[in-house]
Structure 1
Amino acid sequence: AHAGHAMPQLARRGMSVAAISAVDIALWDILGKSLGQPVWRLLGGRKVDRMQAYASGGWASADAIGEQLKSYIARGGFKALKMRVGAMDGAAHISA
């Protein structure tokens, strides 16, 4: 429970959050296997029976994003959207 509070501090010291996450997941898995319980139960059990799916879009030209997201609603039936903005490859926008 306290690991979430430590993560920002560790990341600022140069540790990779991805590496920390991998170890965290592995430790939960080991604990679950040793207790014969699924990790979702160790984390407090089921909270909801269903979750709403959302469409994820963006990383398109400014002209295309609106149409892309409209199509997720019209053709996909999604009621929730997550839109990324900015350039997919930020390297072109970084100067030395």
Structure 2
Amino acid sequence: MPDDFLIAHNPEDGSRLPYLLRIPLGPDGIVLKAKETWPRTGKVYCHRATGWPAEPDLSRSCPPDPASGAAPASTSSSTGERSSARSSS
């Protein structure tokens, strides 16, 4: 099973979905093409991708929350910077 929730740039030229998201579920993870990066917006348009690239251009990486198995509220970018997702009430 993949270890981290990953966001990479979509290598497809001219795609209207410029990002790939790899969700750490199952043996190979679930790969989606997405219009935005997570957690920028609460709702992101995406659909299933055919696979994860062999050498992805990573935008972000974050380990899953061990308690829930879900991606955590904070993420790490490929440069090591951290940002926190804020929920609005």
Fold shared, TM-score > 0.5 on shorter chain: no
Structure possessing the higher radius of gyration over alpha carbons: 1
Structure (1 or 2) with the greater helix fraction = 1
Q: Per chain length, whose mean CA-contact separation is higher, i.e. which structure has more relative contact order (CA < 8 Å, sep 6+)?
A: 2
Q: What range is the shorter-chain TM-score in?
A: under 0.3
Structure (1 or 2) with the greater strand fraction = 2
